[in-house]
């Protein structure tokens, strides 16, 4: 992992990398800072909703969470295609919802099935952070190979990719969670988090 990231302690780039790759550092740091800003917003909303509603979402099985994410992604695509919306909820909020539902799915996958459905925000916060840390590591590895190619993408294309990954997850779920050569459900949830973060970063940049 190129950057050590923590939602509570910030992030830092190893000194050796600052010396070896000075031309790349600015973009690496820019991506990390933007990523952290988006995730901090998502996490804050997640914890506030946890305090308001409790952990009712824990009753959801993974396919139900997948369907919730699908609804949000489909609404985004519908608004993009029509060029207008009749419900005031911003598209940005839907991307936040996609990120948080994906994190919920990752947490559900890691929790003991016999664990209590009722959990405190203080119990969930480290689980949220761990899911994001792991997902950010995946982002850094892919950025190393693809060289920040996502910055040249259209937000509409990112929406389509999220929907494609949702259809993949649905198929894997229908297959009982088994794959032959493809990456599993966890990797697809992580990819959806990262693509939704990209969409929020790019959407904000287009307004500047």
Dump pLDDT digits (tens) for 121-173: 999 999 999 999 999 999 988 887 888 889 999 999 999 999 999 999 999 99
Query: Which pLDDT score is estimated for 114?
Result: 86
Over residues 58-89, the pLDDT tens digits come to: 999 999 999 999 999 999 999 999 999 888 88
One-character DSSP codes across 129-192: HHHHHHHHHHHHHHHHHHTTGGGGS-HHHHHHHHHHHHHHHHHHHHTTT--SSS--HHHHHHHH
Q: Which of 10, 95, 63 is nearest to 185 (CA)?
A: 63
| Mean per-residue pLDDT over the chain, rounded | 87
Provide long-range contacts, Cβ within 8 A and 24+ apart, for 108-114: 108/58, 108/60, 108/62, 108/65, 109/62, 109/185, 109/186
At residue 206, does pLDDT exceed 80? no
* CB-CB contact of 96 with 42 (8 Å): yes
Mean pLDDT is lowest, of 17-31, 41-55, 118-132, for 17-31
pLDDT tier at 30, thresholds 50, 70, 90: confident
Query: Which pLDDT score is estimated for 57?
Result: 95
Structural domain containing residue 79: 4-207
Look up tokens 């929907």; give the residue.
163
Domain count, the chain: 1
């Amino acid at each position: 992992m190129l950057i050590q990231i923590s939602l509570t302690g910030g992030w830092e780039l190893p000194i050796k990398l600052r010396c070896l790759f000075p031309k790349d550092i600015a973009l690496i740091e820019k991506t990390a800072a933007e990523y952290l800003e988006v995730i901090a917003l998502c996490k804050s909303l997640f914890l506030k909703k946890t305090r308001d509603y409790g952990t009712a979402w824990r009753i959801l099985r993974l396919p139900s969470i997948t369907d919730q994410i699908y609804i949000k992604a489909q609404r985004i695509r519908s608004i993009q295609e029509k060029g207008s919306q009749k419900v005031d909820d911003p598209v940005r909020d839907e991307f936040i919802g996609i990120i948080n539902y994906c994190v919920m799915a990752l947490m559900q996958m890691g929790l003991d099935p016999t664990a209590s459905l009722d959990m405190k925000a203080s119990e969930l916060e480290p689980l949220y952070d761990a899911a994001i840390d792991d997902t950010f590591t995946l982002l850094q590895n892919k950025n190393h190979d693809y060289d920040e190619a996502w910055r040249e993408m259209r937000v509409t294309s990112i929406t389509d990719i999220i929907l494609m990954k949702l259809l993949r997850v649905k198929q894997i779920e229908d297959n009982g969670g088994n794959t032959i050569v493809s990456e599993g459900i966890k990797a697809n949830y992580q990819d959806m988090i990262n693509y939704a973060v990209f969409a929020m970063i790019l959407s904000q940049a287009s307004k500047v």
